[in-house]
Amino acid sequence: MTKSEKVADILKTLNKLYPNPQVPLDHKDAYTLLIAVLLSAQCTDIRVNKTTPALFKLADNPFDMVKLSLEEIREIIKPCGLSPMKSKGIYGLSKILIEKYNGQVPHTFEELEALPAVGHKTASVVLTQWFGIPAFPVDTHIHRLAYRWGLSNGKSVEQTEKDLKRLIPEKKWNKVHLQIIYYGREHCPARNHNWQTCSICKKYLRKELRTN
């Protein structure tokens, strides 16, 4: 079986399980999505979704966000972890959005990645999930599964992104990225994973990862 045939078979399984995957982070516009994705670093989406309502009730736009103090932001987002860094990022990027973009979230990699606390993955999520611009955000789930299934060598997140972009048609990137996240959470976890009952791993798990 060629790698392209393997990919087609994996996508077939993902499409059957998740025909219409939804963005897991609650948001109403580009700004609230940007903040939610920033908060999701080293934190679960469930925790973020429990935390953002209190924050967005006070400030769901950059103009209101900069009216809050760093201490107020940090106290609200504390359950998400890394609150000192994240609160500075939220305040700082909100200030820049007002000063440079009239409060609007820009829609290029260069502009997004120049914002405080916004890395490549965060920028990719906002671009693809809100603006519909082709991107393939790679989180820990996707990185792990791409290696397990032999779609990437797993040496770096950057390499995994390049490999998946090469193997998967661009028009499918947004959907497949969400599908793999959901599959990883529900069927292919990092720990206590029984590959023999996983519909994709039982076909494609790397030989060196197989155990009796």
Predicted confidence (pLDDT) per residue in 157-175, tens digit: 999 999 999 999 999 999 9
- Quick one: how far is CA 95 from the chain centroid? 24
- Look at residue 118 in the predicted model and tell me its pLDDT: 97
Taking only the tens place, the pLDDT of each residue in 137-155 is: 998 889 999 999 999 997 8
Taking only the tens place, the pLDDT of each residue in 169-198 is: 999 999 999 999 999 999 999 999 999 999
| pLDDT mean over 98-105 | 98
Q: Which sequence positions are flagged as catalytic?
A: 121, 139
Task: Please identify which residue in the block is written with the tokens 């916004």.
Answer: 118
Tell me: pLDDT of 33 over 80. Answer: yes
Q: What does pTM read for this prediction?
A: 0.93
| pLDDT mean over 30-41 | 97
**Domain span(s) for CATH 1.10.1670.10 in the chain:** 3-21+136-209
- Distance between terminal CA atoms of the chain? 24
Torsions phi, psi of 71, nearest 5? -65, -40
Question: Which architecture does CATH list for 30-129?
Answer: Orthogonal Bundle (1.10)
Structure tokens at 206: 């790397």
The total number of residues shown for the chain amounts to 212
- Quick one: how far is CA 92 from the chain centroid? 21
Q: Which residues, 6 or more positions from 164, have their beta carbon under 8 angstroms from its beta carbon?
A: 136, 138, 142, 146, 151, 152, 173, 176
- Look at residue 140 in the predicted model and tell me its pLDDT: 84
**Domain span(s) for CATH 1.10.340.30 in the chain:** 30-129
- Quick one: how far is CA 64 from the chain centroid? 26
- Look at residue 207 in the predicted model and tell me its pLDDT: 92
Mean pLDDT of the chain, nearest integer: 96
Burial class (CB in 10 A: 0-12, 13-18, 19+), 19: exposed
Domain 3-21+136-209 is in which class?
Answer: mainly alpha
The residue type of 208 is E
| pLDDT mean over 82-100 | 98
- Look at residue 212 in the predicted model and tell me its pLDDT: 58
Model confidence at 211, pLDDT cuts 50, 70, 90, reads confident
